[in-house]
Amino acid sequence: MENKTVLKLFAVSQPGIEEITLSELENIGIKGEVVPGGVEFRGGLRELYLSNLCLRTANRVLVRVASFRVKTFAELVKRIARYPWDIYFPYFQKVKIRVTCKKSKLYHSDAVAERVLKGINNRLKHTIEKAKFEDEGTSLIVKIENDFCTVSINSSGKPLYKRGYRVVETQAPLRENLAAAIVLASGWDRKIPLVDPFCGSGTIPIEAAMIAGNIPPGIKRKFAFMKWKNFDETLFYSVKTELESRIKTEIPSIFGFDISENAIRASVENMKFFNLSIKFRKASLPENGLPEIAYVVTNPPYGKRIVADTFSVYRRFGEWLRKSFPAVKVAFLSPDKKLARVTGLKCRKVLTFSNGGIRVSLYRG
């Protein structure tokens, strides 16, 4: 495979935020098409590297390696062996094979995984083994639906939301890619200050600062493709240097407040990874130390069960907003439209997705 080879790529995105992932790709000059669960696009190694380095809302970037019709295990082994697996497994490695089968003659996922591994080993001059642990080895995704098989390889390695900055965690933290999606969908213009009054371990303020500063989320991490035979180190570091040259040092003020001392301590430690300057302070809906105008973006506390205390939090949040920022613009998460209403804010739903197993919506006002 050469640099000019066109790859079939797929940015895996959480259902509900695929359009944001598409916008991110378009912002780095890549055209794509939204499908359930992500965005399909094409490109060479440059696009592969760019997407992994820059995508904030995607979970991983897959390369579509193989696609064919198949109805028997013997045929599966034979077809798999036709593909150039030495590119992805240039030396002894372990592989994690994830299989889903639907409406097909081949329906036993473990048996399919065994035959895929056999087909790969028939092609290679060395032998690879099945990984025993979740984060071990290279990850292959095999899907057989209506007797049509597609095989993809995870080019990212660890999920892209693992930026590296979360050195200290708090209970039930908002995942980084979801925080980025919230900020990108909030309508914040990156010119006026941003305030998060329920910041937890600082994920929303940190993602906002990275977005405002044009800091690529993957700039400090490693990727699975760096171990591939076709890894172009010169091209990769050229792309990386180009992205680093676009980083901004001047960004609007960003504030994060939380009632928990541990949460603020975690936020302060986490922002150091990217050398960010965010004003974190222990406070519960503070009345002083605020900017005159601001865009409020936040994830108020809630659980799977909506209780009286939850309504009280959202009610006080709305009262605080009207008192502190009379002409405020706001974006907040809520698992229930009744909670959104109790804020007393005029807002509309702009995004819906799952957060920690809870269906939530982003409201803008």
May I ask the CATH architecture of the domain 176-213+248-364?
3-Layer(aba) Sandwich (3.40)
* Identity at 33, one-letter amino acid code: E
Whether the CB-CB separation of 243 and 53 falls below 8 Å is answered with yes
Residues 303 and 341: their CA atoms lie apart, in Å, by 17
Residues 183 and 88: their CA atoms lie apart, in Å, by 35
Q: What is the pLDDT of residue 1?
A: 41
pLDDT tens sequence for the chain (365 residues): 445 789 999 999 999 999 999 999 999 999 999 999 999 999 999 999 999 999 999 999 999 999 999 999 999 999 999 999 999 998 888 999 999 999 999 999 999 999 999 999 999 989 999 988 767 789 999 999 999 999 999 999 999 999 999 988 777 789 999 999 999 999 999 999 999 999 999 999 999 999 999 999 999 999 999 999 999 999 999 999 999 999 999 999 999 999 999 999 999 999 999 999 999 999 989 988 899 899 999 999 998 766 779 999 999 999 999 998 877 799 999 999 999 999 999 999 999 999 989 999 999 99
Both tokens assigned to 177: 């890619």
Q: Indicate the SS3 state at residue 227.
A: helix
Whether the CB-CB separation of 280 and 272 falls below 8 Å is answered with no
Q: What is the CATH number of domain 7-154?
A: 3.30.2130.30
With 0-12 / 13-18 / 19 or more C-beta atoms within 10 angstroms meaning exposed / middle / buried, residue 304 is exposed
Which residue reads 């065994």 in tokens? 114
- Domain residues of the chain, as ranges? 7-154, 176-213+248-364
